[in-house]
Amino acid sequence: MTNFSYSRASDKLGQNARIPRPSTRSLEELQRRIPVVGDKALIDLVNGIQVSKDLIRYRKNRGFFGQLIDTLDGSDRKRQILLDGNLIAGQEALYQWVLELSDSLDISQIALELTQKSLLEARNAIRDQKQRVQIQEEALLGLSQGLDRLAQQVGTRINELEARVRKLEVRVAASEDLNRIVTTWAAEQTYTKLPWAVQVPLLAREVFSSSVATYELETGDTTQYRSLLVNKILSISKQLPKSFFGLADLLDHSWREMAESDRTLIAALLKVRSIPQQRLQNTPLLFALGTTLELATLPEEARPSKPGQSALALCRAHIDSISRTTDAREFITTVIEETANDCIAILSRS
């Protein structure tokens, strides 16, 4: 009877302790708040099965008289009703558990579908973002290339402007130097007491040792300042002959007008004998003038009677043929060209 009483008490406790089945919507929230709720159906099922086993075992162990007494007082009918009730309670608990399990599976399926949908949306968003990033990269690449082209154009423009500014600076410096040198010479502050045929190469050497030579080297313009210097000399000098004359006569007349000290000094400045042969090939008139002065500085017993004529003969024999007659413009132009070319060649090699 102990088992039976315990089983009946347990059954009543199980029937009284059953809780209502929660809705599907609140199942997860209820299980999170009270975790043992999910195990209640199993407890009810196991409890019902245990009580039913006790009842069946009790009926099987009862003797004939016990069964007869149970029939007379109705105990057997009560036990049968209790057994059926326990079986029904167990089946109800199993049914509730299956429903809850089914609801959980449905919720899991919905969650999986939502997760799959979210993954698809995330993949599409990532793909769209990747396309946008690619478009932005292409735009940035195009912008970078455009900036590079613009930088090159700006750099080229800046270089052109710098070149123009440099050319302007050099031109201004060359003009200032030319005007200063010529103005000083016109005021008879330089090369005084020298014949005009000697003043011309000295003046040209001074001009083309200044910024004028730098201008010609950087710009390649070899006409502007040379022509300007020729015109200035022709317009300023008062000693120039007005017609053609013999070149030998001009050279001999020039050295005779010079003091002996000046002849020695100018001969040393022109230094024809120390000039390499290649330079002399490009300066025949300067060679003739320098040779004339060198011959004129010799002792009188060793000096030729006409140093200018002797110098031209040496020039024609060893360097170049020079015209016997000339005029003021031709002489000045030739001396300036030879002097300028010689100065530019020296600067180019340095």
> What are the tens digits of pLDDT across the range 266-277?
999 888 878 888
H/E element, 326: strand 325-326
Range of the domain at 317: 191-349
Residue 313 has what pLDDT?
93
Burial class, 45, CB count within 10 angstroms (exposed 0-12 / middle 13-18 / buried 19+): buried
Whether residues 342 and 260 fall in one domain: yes
pLDDT band at 6 (very low <50, low <70, confident <90, very high): very low
Which residue has better confidence, 277 or 71? 277
Residue 214 reports pLDDT greater than 60 = yes
Dihedral of the alpha carbons of 258, 263, 265, 271, in degrees to the nearest 10:
140
Does residue 26 have a pLDDT over 70?
no
Residue 218 has pLDDT above 80, yes or no: yes
What total number of domains does the chain contain?
Answer: 2
- The residue among 54 and 301 whose pLDDT is bigger is 301
The secondary structure of 252-291 as a DSSP string is: HHHHHTS-HHHHHHHHHHH-GGGS-HHHHHT-HHHHHHHH
Q: How far is CA 199 from CA 147, 195, 215, 282, in A?
A: 59, 6, 23, 20
Above 70 in pLDDT, residue 202?
Answer: yes
pLDDT(305) > 50: yes
Distance in angstroms (rounded) separating the CA atoms of residues 1 and 24: 42
Averaged pLDDT for residues 110-121:
80
pLDDT of residue 50: 57
User: End of a domain among 116, 133, 150?
Assistant: 133
Give the C-alpha separation, 63 to 73, whole Å: 15
Q: Tell me what pLDDT residue 4 has.
A: 39
Whether residues 204 and 339 fall in one domain = yes
Helix (H) or strand (E) holding 309: helix 307-318
Q: Are 194 and 258 contacting, i.e. CB atoms less than 8 angstroms apart?
A: yes
pLDDT confidence of 239, banded at 50, 70, 90? confident
Mean per-residue pLDDT, 73-99: 65
Does 285 lie in the same domain as 208? yes
Kindly state whether residues 325 and 238 are assigned to the same domain: yes
Closest CA to 226 of 323, 335, 79: 335
Residue 149 included in any domain:
no
**What is the share, in percent, of the chain residues with pLDDT greater than 90?**
41
Residue 328 scores a pLDDT above 90? yes
More confident residue, 221 or 54: 221
Cα(108)–Cα(101) distance, rounded to whole angstroms? 10
Q: Which of 104, 133, 162 is the last residue of a domain?
A: 133
SS3 325: strand
Q: Please tell me whether the overall predicted TM-score, pTM, comes out greater than 0.75 for this model.
A: no
Whether residue 196 sits in one domain with residue 105: no
- Say yes or no: 209 and 332 in one domain: yes
Residue 225 lies in a domain: yes
The answer to whether residue 27 scores a pLDDT higher than 80 is no
Does residue 129 sit in the same domain as residue 203?
A: no
Same domain, 128 and 200: no
**pLDDT above 50: residue 2:** no
pLDDT at 75 over 70: no
Question: What is the overall mean pLDDT for the chain?
Answer: 80
Task: Quick: pLDDT tens for 150-178.
Answer: 888 888 888 888 888 888 899 999 999 99
To 10 degrees, what angle do helices 37-61 and 75-186 make?
Answer: 160
Does residue 90 belong to any structural domain of this protein? yes
pLDDT of residue 14: 42
Q: Is 180 within a domain?
A: no
* Residue 165 counted as domain residue: no
- Whether 123 is covered by a domain: the verdict is yes
State the amino acid at position 190 in one-letter form: T
Q: Do the beta carbons of residue 347 and residue 213 sit within 8 Å?
A: yes
Per-residue confidence band for 293, with pLDDT thresholds at 50, 70 and 90 = very high
Is the domain of 260 the same as that of 127? no
Distance CA 192, CA 239 (A): 13
Q: State percent of the chain over pLDDT 70.
A: 69
